[in-house]
Structure formats: C-alpha cells, structure tokens
Amino acid sequence: MQFNSIAFMIFIPLVSAGCYLISPSRRWMWLLSASLLFYLTSVPWFILPLLVTAAGIYASALMIDRCRNRDPAGEKVSFFMGVATPLILLISFKYLPFFGESAEQIARALGLNYPLFIIEIIAPLGISYYTFQAISYVVEVKRGKAPAEHNFGILLLYLVFFPRVVAGPIERPDLIHQFREPRPFNREDISAGIELMAFGFFKKLVIADRLAIPVNEIYGNASHYHGLYLLLATVFFAIQVYADFSGYTDIALGSARLVGIRLTDNFRHPYGAPSLREFWRRWHITLTSWFRDYLYIPLGGNRVAPRRRDFNIFITFLASGMWHGAGGSFMVWGALHGLMMVAGSWTRPFREMLVRLTGLSRAPAIRHAIGVASTSFLAGAAWIFFRAETLSGAVSIIRNILGGIHEFFILLVTRDTDGLRAIADVARKGAILGFARESYRTEMLIALFSIMALWIGGMLRSRRPDFMTSGPLRWPLVLLVIASILFFGMFSAEQFIYFRF
C-alpha cells in the first residue's frame, strides 16, 4: 500500500479512529494489526524475513539480558547472533545477486569458463530500514541503554509500524516506550498530523511527480539530448529527490501523529546548508546519525589521528552508498561524498585564509550565500551518479554536460550568433524527443511556482517557528495546500524514490 493511493486514504482515518476507540492497554495490538495489514498488501511473503529478523533480535536481546554480568562469552555470542541475523538477511536479498554478477563478469574478463547460477531476488520492502532499526535495538540493549523487550508483539510493532516501515525514519529503541504509553485523544496531534500530511502530499504530488516527467524523459534518453538539457534535468532531479523523500517523511510523521506517536524528523532544509558537513546533518538525518553512532564512532571517529579520521569518514560514506544499493553508481556516489568531506577537512585552513583576504569575514551573509551555492552544486553534481541507471551512464551524462557547457561558453566568447541562435532554437522547439512541448511547459510552470511557494513558506517558518502551528493563518494555508493538491497534483500513484532502498 502506497501513501499516495486511494487505499491509504481509506486506511489512515480508520486506523486513527480505532486507536482512540479501543482500550489504551490494547492499542498496540490494533497498531500491530494495522501495520501487518499495511505491509502484507505489497507482497505477502515479504513478511517472512521481517518476522525472522524480529524473532532473532527478540531472542538475542533476552539472552544478552540474561547473560549480563554472569556469562560474558554467552553475552558476546548472543550479541553477535542478534546483529548477524538481520545483516545476513539484508546481504542475501539485496547484495548476493550483485556479487554473483560481478564474479561472473570478472571470470569472463579473465577468460575463465565459470558460469554461475545467479538467482534473481526481489528485496523485501523496507528491508534496509528495519534491518538498521533492528541492529540499533540489539546494540542499545548490549550497551545497557535500552531494556530487553519481553513482549514480542511490541518488538515486532517497533519494526513494522506502518508509517515508517517502508522508507524510515530509522528509529531507535526509544520508540518502543511510546507504544506502551496510553495516548489520550489530543486535538493538537490530529491537527499537526493533517498539516504534515498535507505538506507531504503537496511536495510529492505537485512538485516531485511533476518534475519526474522531464527527469525520466531526459535521463532515460540521455544520448538524444544536448548537455544543457542534461544539466537542467540534474537540477530538477536534485529538487525532485528532496521533495519526494521529505514529502514521504512528512506523510509518515503526520500519519504517526494521527495515532499519537511521534517519529524523528529526517530533514531540515538541506539545500540551505553552507557546507557538506552541515548538509549531511540536515539530509536523511536518521540514516546519517545511525552511521555516525554505529560505524563512524566505533571506528574511532575524530578521536584518532587525522589520516585515520579521514579514512573513517570515507568508509562511512562508502557504506552509506552501498546501503542505498549494490550498483557501482551508488558506491561511487557514497565514495564521492566521502572524498569531498575529506577534501573539505584538508582545505579548511586555506578557505578560511581566503575568506580573511577577500574580506568575506566582514560580510557573513555573502559568505553564507557562497557556501550554500557551492554546497548545492557539489551535492547536485553527485546526484548524477545516484540517478543514472549505470556507472557508465553517469560518466556519459557528465561528459555530455561538460561538453554542452563548454560549447555554450565558446559560442558566447566568440559571439557566434548563429550557434547561440541554434541552441536557443533547440531550447524553444525542444530536443529530438520534444522536451519543451506545451505539456512540459505547463508541468514546469506549476512545479517551479510550487517550489517558490514552498521556499517562501520555509523562510517564514525558519524566522517564526510557530508560523504554521498557531494563529489565524494556519488552517487557511492548509486548505490552500489541499486545494493545490486537488487542482495540480499528479494522481498516477508514482512510487516514492526511496521505496526501492
């Protein structure tokens, strides 16, 4: 069941109403039943690895608790089994086919007749998310920061809670306490839930799904388009992936608020970040913090020598890229961010000196604007590897973009009016497949107007956090957003981008 489906529009009010009609002590049972139904509507067998994961961490946590201070060896074995169970399932479903294909390609390149039996496996929905959530539970129990949960149903609900099971946020064991707490009917929870869902659907249906049309067209037929079109599609995708994923998060947070549960926010205006380090504190926050707490810090974090710290940063971002997918393009995307973070650390003294010499230290607003622009450029360039179907496709797109920019500037410098007129004619008439035809212009006007409205709203909320949570403008604005969805939304049930991870 997708959030942007009619079924969900029927499902969510029934679930939220049932939460406040049923006895508080049995509310977790209602939420578990609803969550299992939500998950089973995709592919029923997907529930099996989730149940195995839940059973594995349930038994592991109880054994850790029982062996604590009595049997250190048993405690370590239990911890290892609790972490290994979800990881083995994740690797089996998501990475084994990739490793098998890679081994076969290497064998062929070496001239070896080594055919492999490669099984095509569909990764269960949300497995990357609930695997990390399961691991965090076992780790926190081992550290003594979370108690072992004795109620298997509540632990299963922790993994399968319907707003977050498919694409996060990746929660920590603190979420379990909320399922136990009696949550009386709260009008503010309902209001905030409706508001969050309205803005989430606006981002998804009005912005992301409209931008998806030209992005899919151009990236799907990259060889037919001029480099400037590929550059424009890359900019559109940077906006699309943010609107799509943050829109999903808003809907997830809003759905949880409707049943009295508060999930962790995943985004804080990442394209307003003045540095890549700050960008990753604002983008997919729960995944970034997970890698920080369970990989970067255990590797030594920044408490080690600079070279080792840089290695830790690179490995963390490489692992983040691999988490997104087994393809080479995702690995390069993660490695690229890791290298840029390391380069940022090494060039910080030089950049600070440049700021002093140019006088930008006396103009913080200009310095901030330059930081935001350069960060958005670097993140946007890396998105090419994220969006391209293959690594070779990403390299080809970059080559075409650079070639298009080079051609444009050469024509500009040489004042070749015929050449510039030819590029303008391409922009006016559209490329070979008709990107600029009338229907696309409509899509772009609506999407760009919506982005501007969203940006203005974000600016107002950053200056006045209570702008949308109180006052006479709250509900008129929510109603305006809902009306915009009804008039301009794309109701084609386009899948959320992060559902495939």
- Give catalytic residues, as residue numbers: 324
Coil/strand/helix, residue 25? helix
Task: Provide the token pair at 291.
Answer: 């890698």
- CA dist., res. 483 & res. 65, Å (int): 53
What per-residue string of b and e applies to 398-413 under the rule 16 or more CB within 10 Å gives b? Answer: bebbeebeebbeebee
The token duo for 387 is 């969006």
CA 362-363-364 angle, 5° bins: 105
Q: Report CA Rg, the chain.
A: 25
| Contact present, 251 and 200 (Cβ < 8 Å) | yes
Q: Retrieve residue 243's tokens.
A: 């609107």
User: 448-451 contacts: CB < 8 A, separation 24 or more?
Assistant: 450/202, 450/206, 450/207, 450/210, 450/484, 450/488, 451/207, 451/239, 451/243
Nearest CA among 498, 499, 492, 500 for reference residue 209: 492
DSSP class of residue 205?
Answer: I
Evaluate whether 206 touches 485 at the Cβ level (below 8 Å). Answer: yes
Element (H, E) at 325: none
Concatenating the DSSP letter of every residue in 230-289 gives HHHHHHHHHHHHHHHHHHHHHHHHHHHHHTT--PPP--S-GGG-SSHHHHHHHSSHHHHH
Task: For residues 492 and 496, give the distance between their C-alpha atoms in angstroms, rounded to a whole number.
Answer: 12
Residues 407, 413, 416: CA angle, nearest 5 degrees: 70
CA torsion angle 176 181 184 189 (round to 10): -30
The CA-CA-CA angle for residues 146, 149, 152, to 5°, reads: 150
Residue 68's CB is within 10 A of a number of other CB atoms, namely 16
> CA 75 to CA 58: how far, in whole Å?
14
Tell me the residue length of the chain: 501
Nearest to 300 by CA among 280, 314, 287, 286: 314
